[in-house]
Chains A and B, each alone.
Chain A
């Protein structure tokens, strides 16, 4: 189970005056079970990229392989691909439509053609998995708060039991508490279900604590693709493309510059705390 992108190019509105390349020569390998952060600012091609991973868009040139099969192949089963590679879009408003939350979550598994019992079981499991309260099960999804809507939207996708879960800006428009909740939830889903997770964001601070690999997109190209520490080491280049390393990185860099015996590579708050304590211990 893995996804491979081989020299993928994608051009929007080909052969009109508005034509522009959204993806340029993208080569990626996404093995099983990784927790990946996909970073880039607006218009960097990250949304286009994730739509290639479940066949919503097909490359203008180049190929995407899922388990060794080319997804642009005419007899490739795209419906199956979409159940294996679950994509949660940025706005839950784009997918919620049923009269109550439970029915809405049933929509995905029902489309897989499962028997009714199985559909309901999966919906129940999924809603429980995202920590959704029983009392809201039969409430209209439109009456929920932003964070709760997002939970239902995520449940709607994981009810299909995907092997890869892609979330497009799952924290956009949430308050800090809601953000932490959702990110914690995603981390838990990754750990408990053992699935591959791709977290799309434009904030390094969001992903630094959770992911094991970061892919940075810039103007349709992959700018960096490495473990967080190595990516953040390029914090000057990141700034040039309109992104920034997590605040912790800056603090540590400044401390190191000021002569503190700390390792400036710390990327998470936890690591930084330990580094600083160690430094003081030595002093």
Chain B
């Protein structure tokens, strides 16, 4: 069950996408998400879909693995779709009892669904193909200019990388705790909503205790190595753009251009 959560996980393999500079991938994810909100019609989404499919293919990550993460947002997806489907005013399509499905509602609902699925898939490709360390480096570099405005960029990216780093660890821990409690007859899957919420206590208490313990251990280890924030810190492997990164930027911006032209201007 917990293995379905792929959020923030890194998938170890080798591919063009894996080798790209993390800054390219960060910008690409941002651009891709932006494009999803800019395009307004079917053709635009088709282009976004094709772009995404090509990225998945290039990344060598099995699509099954990427879409496994989708199960966890299934309810959110369903909820947005239902609300959009029934609550959008417009031309009536079907009507029964108090509910009316409108043509506009149907369009809105499917658009929202596609948008959400693409959004999650797009960002998971980034985390699946980039190690947390690389991601942090990229983040720090992309956000670099904000340092002038006294934004603690280094600290933010450090926090982000620690958070990402701990997702798989805590998941594994949760899995172990669940098993230990199931071995004592705990039931996490059946029962009423209240009972199920109650059954989470034996899971959450050990999990929180272990998370705090890990956080303290980590803080101690960082202090022992004289960590004192980003000032004057140098990198062992500084990020340098290579030819493939420049090509990737080219591809990315042409995608954005085509998506906007097709999605907003050509077909209204």
Instruction: Identify the A interface with B (CB < 8 A).
Output: 13, 15-18, 51, 54, 56, 79, 82-83, 86-89, 91, 93-97, 107-108, 111-112, 142, 156-157, 160
Contact = CB atoms under 8 A, between A and B. Distances in A.
A18 B11 CA distance: 9
A13 B6 CA distance: 13
Given A95-B177, A97-B201, A107 B209 contact: no
B41 interface: no
B180 A82 contact: no
Given A17-B11, A86-B183, A111-B187, A95 B62 contact: no
A98 to B, nearest CB: 8
B62 A54 contact: no
A275 to B, nearest CB: 41
A111 B12 CA distance: 40
A87 B11 CA distance: 32
B202 A97 contact: yes
Contacts of A94: 173, 176-177, 180, 206, 210
Contacts of B176: 89, 91, 94
Contacts of A108: 184-185
Contacts of A160: 184-185
Given A54-B183, A94-B177, A111-B186, A16 B62 contact: yes
B31 to A, nearest CB: 28
Most buried by A among B13, B185, B205: B185
Contacts of A95: 177, 180-181, 183-184, 202, 206
B242 to A, nearest CB: 25
B258 to A, nearest CB: 32
B23 to A, nearest CB: 26
Interface of B: 3, 11-13, 62, 64-65, 173, 176-177, 179-187, 201-202, 205-206, 209-210
A112 B184 CA distance: 9
Contacts of A156: 184
B70 to A, nearest CB: 16
A142 to B, nearest CB: 7
A112 B185 CA distance: 7
B12 A97 contact: no
19 contacts: A16-B11, A16-B64, A16-B65, A17-B11, A17-B12, A18-B12, A79-B187, A83-B185, A89-B180, A94-B177, A94-B210, A95-B181, A95-B202, A97-B202, A97-B206, A108-B185, A142-B209, A157-B184, A160-B185
B121 to A, nearest CB: 17
Nearest to A78: B182
Given A95-B183, A97-B205, 12 more contacts: A16-B62, A17-B11, A17-B62, A82-B182, A89-B179, A93-B209, A94-B173, A95-B180, A95-B206, A107-B186, A108-B185, A157-B183
Contacts of A107: 181, 184-186, 202
Nearest to A51: B179
B179 A15 contact: no
Contacts of A97: 201-202, 205-206
A135 to B, nearest CB: 23
Nearest to B3: A13
Contacts of A157: 183-184
A146 to B, nearest CB: 14
Nearest to A162: B183
Q: Return the 5 tightest CB-CB contacts between A and B, nearest first.
A: A111-B185, A97-B205, A108-B184, A95-B180, A87-B183
B173 to A, nearest CB: 8
Given A16-B62, A160-B184, A160-B185, A93 B179 contact: no
